[in-house]
């Protein structure tokens, strides 16, 4: 058996297993850089931000942002909100690993280059932010940037994953 190849396969398998253990960011206040946060800008205007880890899809980050805007709108005593500005950023990072150089750690040594295995993995983290302006009463149906807070919250509730109780 080729021990270096077995070692490389084991290392890659362990890396894949550890990556599979990462779970998506739950809907929670920002903790260790992930989750939601808001800042009051005016009496009826907030900036809402949501950051997800590498296991959190873009759609989830954007849904959580809208959900938080609806939740905040209702908590402030308003009925609907308008997204005055909205943006989603993707932070892509690359990690390169080297492994499988034959001879290292054994009784022999191969003195030639190019015998190792190099792997590159990408990791994408999404972050969304929006300026949310809140209003009372009926939203104007022609305003495509306006959302009924109660209706949106009810429609997205089933998609919201909250943190596990510890």
pLDDT in tens, 75-104: 999 999 999 999 999 988 887 776 665 545
At 45, is the pLDDT very low, low, confident or very high (cuts 50, 70, 90)?
very high
pTM equals 0.74
Residues 6+ apart with CB under 8 A from 152: 66, 67, 70
Q: Running DSSP on this structure, what letter comes out for residue 157? A: G
For the ranges 21-30, 54-63, 98-107, the one whose mean pLDDT is highest: 54-63
The better pLDDT of the pair 61, 105 is held by: 61
* Distance of alpha carbon 149 from alpha carbon 62, whole angstroms: 15
Is residue 47 predicted with pLDDT exceeding 60? yes
Nearest Cα residue to 51 out of 40, 37, 39: 37
- The pLDDT, as a whole number, for residue 98 is 65
- The pLDDT, as a whole number, for residue 24 is 94
* Distance of alpha carbon 13 from alpha carbon 5, whole angstroms: 12
pLDDT in tens, 104-158: 544 445 554 555 677 778 889 999 999 999 999 999 889 999 999 999 999 999 9
- The pLDDT, as a whole number, for residue 140 is 87
């Amino acid at each position: 058996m080729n021990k270096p190849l077995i070692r490389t396969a084991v290392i890659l398998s362990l890396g894949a297993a550890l990556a599979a253990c990462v779970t998506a960011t739950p809907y929670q206040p920002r903790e260790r850089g992930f989750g939601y946060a808001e800042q009051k800008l005016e009496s009826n205007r907030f900036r809402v931000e949501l950051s997800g880890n590498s296991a959190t899809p873009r759609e989830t980050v954007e849904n959580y942002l809208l959900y938080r805007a609806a939740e905040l709108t209702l908590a402030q005593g308003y009925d609907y909100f308008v997204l005055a500005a909205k943006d989603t950023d993707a932070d892509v990072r690359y990690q390169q690993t080297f492994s499988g150089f034959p001879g290292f750690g054994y009784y022999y040594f191969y003195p030639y280059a190019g015998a190792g295995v190099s792997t590159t993995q990408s990791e994408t983290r999404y972050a969304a932010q929006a300026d949310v302006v809140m209003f009372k009463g009926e939203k104007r149906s022609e305003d495509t940037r306006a959302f009924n807070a109660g209706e949106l919250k009810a429609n997205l509730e089933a998609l919201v994953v909250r943190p596990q109780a510890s």
